[in-house]
Structure formats: structure tokens, C-alpha cells
Chains A and B, each alone.
Chain A
Amino acid sequence: MRAFLTIILCAVSVALAAQTGAPLITSQDLLDGLKDPTRWLTYGGDYSSTRHSPLTQITPENVNQLTAQWTFQTGTTGSFQTTPLVVDGVLYVTGYNNNAWAVDARSGRQIWRYRREIPEDWKGCCGAVNRGFGVLGDRLYMTTIDAHLVALDMRTGGVLFDAELIDYKAGYSATVAPLVVKDKVIVGVAGAEYGIRGFIDAYDAQTGKRAWRFYTVAKPGEPGGNTWPRGDAYLRGGGSIWVTGSYDPQQNLVFYGTGNPGPDYYSGAREGDNLYTASLVALNADTGELAWHYQFTPHDVHDWDSTQVPVLADLTIGGQLRKVLMFANRNGFFYVLDRVTGKVILAKPFVETTWAKEIGADGRPVMLPGHLPDEDGEKTCPDLGGGTNFFSPSFNPTTRLFYVTARETCATYYGYEQTFKQGQQYTGGATTRPRDQKNFGALRALDPVTAQLKWEFRYTLGTTSSSGVLSTASGLVFAGDGEGNILAFDGRTGKNLWHYQLGVPIRSTAGTTYMVDGRQYLLVPSGSALTAFALPQRP
């Protein structure tokens, strides 16, 4: 009897080993990006972060028939800022307060839930948000608000490893969706409002051990360190990483936008350019070595994190095919960089900007006077929320249009000296909205070769949008307004073709799209709910 059982058990073991031994998602799958239409495997859709899907079932002609199929309510507080991943008919979603779920993509029903307690003494400037999972093999990777990286079992949500990035008590947190490159999981930390020194880390996907670290704030004596005052100001220099970077496999470089210097508004605490804050850094994916950097806003005093999404493409400019990196910056300028050399190809404002006349031939902004915050306040456009922000843009390589949620805003900025105390906010100032200011938001389509505005769709006067953008190969663009609508547009003309009131404005993402059982779904996170749309099924 026992021998018989043993045979059965052995047979079961072999079957299980065969199944569980094979990784679900390989490095090659990640390189292939959106080629398999049933998947969405990384924050930006693929390594280029274009958020442009090859799917064509939903078209400008039939998009007005899109119908809600299901809604998943998390039952938690806080707003989604996440990009759900899609693998084999299952959605993997991170949410507010260290929560995550696996959800059936067909029905919106929960399969498992992960929850991690937040320490009672954790503090953060901007809510316990999370921007999504990374995936490799049968593992999901998630940063936690208390600055850890956890690996979860895709099938159960069980924890496989728990790596501390750094002690959260020193003001650090983590919200970024990990970028998985080969066998490494790349993440960063937030907390520039709490006097941190930011960094980008890579961890071994199997063991969770740290492979490399790149500090986004250079130490005096090291390259870039002469852009900080002598002493220890660099230790509170900011440079958060809270939006996922992009990856160029040919160069083996990852590209990350870095956050504002700290303290945010008080210039006197940190004379100099403050490298590598408010910059784009290109790092070797294996070693973390800096290949090049470009600083968008030297010595930023307006809290303009450059933590927007770097979008990679190959563009013909002046008759030459150039490897470029497109970047709509919080400081109000749209940049096209050569992603091999880091040199500026083009930089033009895409919203009203009052602080710089232009970006000079040397790549530095030509500053206009009167925009250094002091105790009396100074008015600058855009406001601290910026011309755009962390919400993802999209790029359609066929129409060659760059779609971005733009904000037309101004603020009065105040700056004053503040004594640093660990665990307390360290911003050195504040902002107010000028009484006569009428903010508004718009979805804008830019020609990246000229930065010319091709079309815009203006949202309601008085509110701005924090929604990201998604485009599809059928010529559609999806984005959200500041009032809770998800809207579909003709990507060529900007004509509004469809909308649906979600009840809560979209933050960060405009959603993802994927195929299951031959149907194309549009999945939109807003508030603490996910809503899936599809065309009606024919009987």
C-alpha cells in the first residue's frame, strides 16, 4: 500500500516540477513587450514606455459602443496610481496602503490578495500609493511604502523574499513600479520632502540581494559633487525616484528621471546645480554605472521633479535616423534628447512657462529674473504640479505624435530657511495659488520633431487632469479628465469619440489594454476600483 502511494506521490511530484519549474515570464518576453497581445508585462507596456498597444479590435469607428463589463472594488481607501500587469488571463494589481490583488481578467473577480502592514510611525508626503508590479518567471516584484522590495508568488500572493531598501524612519518610502531587466529588479526611493538622499537600486531577482546602487545626489569629492555646497547638505539633497524608467537593450542602458532637490524651495540651503536632481540619468543596467546625464532644471527651486516617463523611439530628424528619448517635463518644456550622447536635439515649451526664456544651445535653460522663491513670494508658471507630471504620456510611431496631459497653471512660491529634523517635512517653503489664476488641463498631441502642437482637447476650466494616456494601433487615444471621465479620441484629429463617467478622476494611468478569449479589453483604474470595457459580444 505504501509503495503504491509513493509511486503516486512521485508521479505527482514530477508533474508539479514540470509545471512549476518552467518560468512563466522570461527576459525575452520582457524584451518582446506587447508583441503577445494577451499580455502587459511592464509599467510602460514595453521597455520603450510608449504605452502604445498594437491592438486594433477597438477602432475609432466602433469605440462608441464600448461597454463596461465589470468593476472590481478593492474596498480600501486611497486612489490607484497603478498600471496593472496582465499574464495568462489574470490581472496583477497593486494599490494603496501596501495592498495588491490577482484578479480574473474575464470577470473582475478576486483570486488572491496581498496585504502588508504599514508601520504606525511611517510618514510620507503624498499618500501610501503604489505604481505597479514588475514580473519575471513566476514572481511579482513590488516596492512597499515602508521602503522594501518584496517578491510575491504569482499564484498565491505569498511572500518569497523581503528586501529592505533603506530604513523608512529616515524619511524614505517607495512607490515606483520595479523595472525588471535581465536578472535584476530595478527600483528607487521617494521622500525628497523629508530630507533624504535618493538612489536607484538593482536587486538580484532570485535572491533579493542588492547588485548595485546609484545615488541621485552626488557627494562632494565625487563626480558631480562640486554642484553641492561643502558639508553635509547632499545627505538631504532629495533626488527621489518614483516613476519607472525605460530600457534600451541595444545600449544596455536604463533611463530614469530624477526628483527635485531638497529642500524644495529654499535656494540658500544648497548653492549649485545640485546634480543629479531634476535630471535624466542613463545607467548601465548590469553595473549601475553612469553613462551620461542631462539636467533639465539646474538648481530647481519649484519642486519640479523630473520624474516623468522617458519615452524611447527612433525618429528621422533632419534626414537622419536618430535614437531619441522624449520627455515632457514638469518644468513646462518638451525635450527630445539623443539617447546615445545625452545631447539636446530639441527643447520647447508645451505649456506657458515664465521662468526660462529658452533652452540654450549648451542645453542649459536661459533663466528669466525674479523666479527665486523668497519670504515675499514670487509668481511662476507652471505651478509645483508642473506642465505635466508623473502621469504617463504615449507615443504612436505610425502617426508620430506624442500625446501628453498638459496643465496650464501658475503659483506663488515662497522660500525660507528651515531647520532639518529627521522624520519631519523639509521643504523650505510653500506655494499658494494666485487669486486671479484660472488653471486648466488639456490633452495635447505634439509633433516630436518640431514640438509643434498638432491638436488639443481642453478639459473644463478650473480643473486639471492627472491622467495618463494610452494609444492603440487602430488610431485611438484614451485619457481621463479631472472630473472622472475616461475619454476616447481620434488620435489624428483629437475628436472626442466616447466617454464614460467613472465617478473618480483617473490618476497616473489611463489604463491598459489586452486580449482575452479574442476580445480586446480596456482596463481603467480610478479611485479604488478597476473597470473593464469591451465591445458588446455578438450572439
Chain B
Amino acid sequence: MPGDVVDNAPLELADLINRVLDKGAVIAGSVTISVGDIDLIQLDLTLVLTAIETVRTAERRRREGGDR
């Protein structure tokens, strides 16, 4: 697709991540995310993305509380 010539690879990657991972229409579904050294986490797309530890804490509490 023609566009600006961008020599800055980090800029291009940051833009790609912001557009494709943070934007776009949301329909439904689930996604497993592994980016760089971040461990795999499973998210419901209706949830606001949170820090990995927050998600893990929530998962632990749900298992301990027995609610699902």
C-alpha cells in the first residue's frame, strides 16, 4: 500500500501495534496474547485490558471463590 517511507523501524512497529492490536472494530471472541517476554494471558475482549498481574489475581480469586 503506498504511503510515507518510514525508515524508523521502531516507529513503524509501534504504529502497527497501536493500529492492529489497540484499534479496529470489536465483534466478540477471546484472544490469547503473548507479546515479547510477557507470559500468555487469556482475555475476554469485553474486558478492559489490564496488567498481567491484575488478570492473574482476578483469576486466582475467581478460582478460590468458586464463582464462574
Note whether A and B form a binding pair: no
Spell out A's residues near B (CB within 8 Å): none
Residues of B with Cβ closer than 8 Å to A? none
